[in-house]
A and B are shown apart, each in its own frame.
Chain A
């Protein structure tokens, strides 16, 4: 039987989303350098640099998706206040 805090790992994000408390990622910007590299900034600070094939993939994906979501994923920035709970999520437990 799952532990209650493991259940919270599933239900807490739902509650956040339903109450509007969990907004999507924001504060990301990007620019392409003359050599083709993509530099991603978060809150004005450099967060990641993409080169070669990864830069090309980024440019393709940013055309038809949520660029904030994409940059959050690329930079590993998922900080929404539920990291501890998320570690207990069954999907993440399986990955460990």
Chain B
């Protein structure tokens, strides 16, 4: 370690030890390594100097002050389930884990809101509010592992967003530790407020580059009645796209609308035999919740039939519905059985362009000769093509990377977005300028510089 780097490292540790108890400071290199990256496949990470495990907002302030004093970066992290490298460490940084800050501080049934610390696991919050007859809708695939703080930092989505919206739609207010170490409260405690700019919205999806979120106020909704469920097989992708479009044109509000392509159906069937139709081009899974859900699902099933579905089945038994939807959750584990590297994509287009996107993805897979099954949130136009490849084979890995880039550019060509719900991190940073226009990008960078003039917070991510 060079002399000046060593001196800075010692200054940092002295500064932290002056502010925090030993239990919050971890210097074991193996432990630090485990906290130095998320689940992104290719994204490199730096060598962090120290891991701080904060217990409360005061600890976060102390960590930021120490980072300022030693002039080192600080990289906040939740549960580390991200897929874009947004929580990857920088060289010499403090990795600041918020997993200990996992208290549900308040559930307010009257105003249908709750106040939580960032380390609360999404499914734990769902369970706690369900006991009060309330529902927190955002449900990323990592719902049992990911933290609310991470969900806010990435503006996470999930299966039910087609009706209920994404994380952004539920964040009412935040407590944030700024790059200066000051603590700022944003948002509102009331259901409505028009005071000031919406700084809460600026922090949602900001991937830790503007401030460190230490408390979150979330909107809740009443628990919806059990959903009704429909499944529909199609022999071609285009009619499935037509059915999806018509469902929305006819005024329906499905609470779930997922698509599974043939390659995914075949892999699920190979690993978990359940007699899926592996010759179908795709399977649509749909649910409706709320009033007249059974009637609504019947109408949606009729739309699928009218658009050429080869077989449609619908049911209002919620348990049977759960079993039908479970096939969607089996896709990732089924491909894990192959023992290969998995690189999930995350692009989105307008609903009516889904058939073009899906056809383009198939073409890209064939052109690069990589396994490229696709699942996704059909109702949102948000697709997750999954690159399956041998990570030990440089040639196959290079083809997978090329296919990944081509899918992003395909989404852009279709007026879509490079990141539907996983965020940008370092994985997709190179595509930012292809989606955001010059003026917007410059404005966003000025905004970032205003919040963090020394580029100390999670440097190199998002923008």
Contacts and interface: CB of A to CB of B under 8 A. Distances in A.
A14 B311 contact: yes
A10 interface: yes
Interface in A1-33: 1-2, 4-12, 14-19
Interface stretch (B45-53, B291-299, B318-326): B318-326
- Main SS at interface, chain A: helix
A16 B311 CA distance: 11
A33 B272 CA distance: 52
Contacts of A2: 322-323, 326
Give the interface size bracket for B toward A.
Answer: 20 to 34
B313 A14 contact: yes
Nearest to A7: B274
A94 interface: yes
Contacts of A8: 273-275
B237 to A, nearest CB: 18
Contacts of B243: none
B276 A11 contact: yes
Contacts, number: 59
B327 interface: yes
A14 B327 CA distance: 13
A2 B311 CA distance: 24
A89 interface: yes
B154 to A, nearest CB: 25
A11 B274 contact: yes
Contact of A14 (B231, B273, B330): B231
A15 B277 contact: yes
A91 B233 contact: no
Given A14-B311, A18-B310, A91 B275 contact: no
A36 interface: no
B311 A7 contact: no
Given A14-B313, A18-B310, A7 B277 contact: no
B67 to A, nearest CB: 41
17 contacts: A2-B322, A4-B272, A4-B273, A4-B274, A7-B327, A8-B275, A9-B323, A10-B323, A10-B324, A11-B327, A14-B313, A15-B275, A17-B311, A18-B233, A90-B319, A90-B320, A94-B319
Interface of A: 1-2, 4-12, 14-19, 89-91, 94
Interface of B: 231, 233, 272-277, 310-311, 313, 317, 319-320, 322-324, 326-327, 329-330
